[in-house]
Amino acid sequence: MQSAIRVALRRGNMGSATFARHTCRRFAQRLRPLVLVGALAFVCQPKAVAVLLLGTGDPAANTNAPTGDLAGSGWQYQGRFGDFMGTAIAPSFFITAKHVGWAGPVFTFHGVDYDVVERFDDRWTDLTIWRVSGILPTFAPLYPREDEAGQHLVVIGRGSERGSDVLKEGVLRGWTWGAQTHLQRWGENAVSRIAYAGTEKQFLYAAFDAAGGPNEAHLSAGDSGGAVFLNDGGTWKLAGINSAVDGPFYAAETRESRFDGALTDVNGFYASNDGGRSFYPYASAAPRPSGFFAARISSRRQWIYSVVDPAGDLDRDGISNLLEYAFDLAPEQPDAGGLPQFSIENGAPTLIYRQMTTARELRYTVEKSTDLRTWEPANAEEESIDWVDYLETFKVTLPAASSGRVSLRVVVTKQ
């Protein structure tokens, strides 16, 4: 897939340029596989989970689509991918957790089996997009903004039942993970905060703090690949993919006391970052609930759209979805900035553009033409002039042209 931004420079009008499209584990422990999600030594387990409910241990609870205010809150976009789940996000694509791997040859959606034919891993997060043969009848819209913290959520998964009570000094602190039934179940919670493990790897974190009513949910083994939805102006949109949970926990400073569970307060228990060779206690003045991590969708929208519809133009601004990703633009709204900028310096055409340093599957090439029909590498002087987080800005300078027209384009190729 290749896209390009083209700029035509003509002597006599060198000051103007026109653009055209050419062409978890735990807050302080380990993740399974280990994914460190915070500087506080919390570790998460991407062994995700069946939704566990605060208010009931009934294995049949919330196993049908929610109704009332929660009608249409994402259940209709869920499909089965082996023992796990996936969410339809485009006519021939679904998204799930990367760590579940190849879960099976088909994606079962609305009772129909679709062959899984192609895989697209996000190298920076726990997200994988799969292409299927055939057209899915419906698909979820993506949550478009990075304002999730504090919002009410609906989470859907397929994992274990609620297990035995976990007591501390006679007080109920939560439950262990029970038998895995792989029943699809939904629950509610709220986004407590955004957890970061580097610029690109971001998670929605929801705490099991017993403040969300009987449907308050935690996750367990088997919920991986399930989804988190937020209500955006009356429309429920995909905001996260179940990825990891806090844990494991230790009842004492011994390997044998290890357990996985959904706890409303971890104080008095222990954590280990080395598999049970050394321990440290949870000891906060206030209750400290465990929680779950969902890979954040809003921070990876550009990548997602570049996979499912690279040549499309979601915001109809003349810039393809692939180029929106390549130049770190907003795919849902027309862009006022961020595109390559052209000028004349001392008579020489100059192009300034930026690259996503984390998008290693993209190749950027500056080309030139004198007739808009034949193109060749610009072979111009190129220097890096700025680098902030994952964006590096380059300046390309051509020799001063003696006469006529010079056209330049930035070609982006996805490997």
- Assess whether pLDDT exceeds 90 at residue 299: yes
Contact 309, 321 (CB under 8 A): yes
How confident is residue 59, by pLDDT bands cut at 50, 70 and 90? confident
Q: Where are the domains of the chain?
A: 2-21+318-414, 33-308
How confident is residue 335, by pLDDT bands cut at 50, 70 and 90? confident
Contact 162, 126 (CB under 8 A): no
Among 336, 341, 340, 61, which Cα is nearest to 215's? 61
Looking at the DSSP assignment, which residues form a beta bridge with residue 280? 271
Tokens of 36: 């460190």
Among 325, 298, 319, which Cα is nearest to 147's? 298
Q: How many C-beta neighbours within 10 Å does residue 149 have?
A: 12
- Assess whether pLDDT exceeds 70 at residue 393: yes
Distance CA 61, CA 68 (A): 16
Tokens of 230: 């937020």
pLDDT given for residue 73 in this prediction? 98
Residue 34 has phi, psi (to 5 degrees) of: -60, 125
Tell me if the domain spanning 2-21+318-414 has CATH number 2.60.40: yes
Residue ranges of E strands in 266-313:
270-271, 280-281, 291-296
Cα four-point dihedral sign 291, 292, 293, 294: negative
Tokens of 109: 């959606």
Please give the share of the chain, as a percent, with pLDDT higher than 90. 68
Mean pLDDT of the chain: 86
- Assess whether pLDDT exceeds 80 at residue 271: yes
Least confident of 99-113, 140-154, 253-267, 345-359: 345-359
Which of the two residues, 78 and 407, has the higher pLDDT score? 78
Q: What is the mean pLDDT of residues 214-238?
A: 96
**Residues belonging to the chain:** 415
Q: How many C-beta neighbours within 10 Å does residue 147 have?
A: 13
Distance CA 380, CA 329 (A): 26
Distance CA 272, CA 281 (A): 9
- Assess whether pLDDT exceeds 50 at residue 46: no
Distance CA 77, CA 139 (A): 6
Burial class (CB in 10 A: 0-12, 13-18, 19+), 54: buried
DSSP-derived secondary structure letter, 140: P
Q: What is the mean pLDDT of residues 37-55?
A: 50
How does pLDDT run across 199-216, given as a tens digit for each residue?
678 999 999 998 878 899
How does pLDDT run across 172-190, given as a tens digit for each residue?
999 999 988 889 999 999 9
pLDDT given for residue 6 in this prediction? 44
pLDDT given for residue 50 in this prediction? 53
Distance CA 266, CA 238 (A): 30
- Assess whether pLDDT exceeds 80 at residue 134: yes
Contact 152, 188 (CB under 8 A): yes
Contact 73, 66 (CB under 8 A): yes
- Assess whether pLDDT exceeds 70 at residue 8: no
Displacement of CA 239 from its chain's centroid (Å)? 8
pLDDT given for residue 223 in this prediction? 95
Tell me if the domain spanning 33-308 has CATH number 1.10.10.10: no
Buried b or exposed e, range 270-301, using 16+ CB within 10 angstroms? bbbbeebeebeebeeeeebbbbbbbbbbbbbb
How does pLDDT run across 157-170, given as a tens digit for each residue?
998 888 999 999 99
- Assess whether pLDDT exceeds 70 at residue 286: yes
Contact 250, 271 (CB under 8 A): yes
pTM of the model: 0.85
- Assess whether pLDDT exceeds 60 at residue 38: no
The structure tokens 């929106």 sit at 324
Buried b or exposed e, range 91-102, using 16+ CB within 10 angstroms? ebbbbbbbbbee
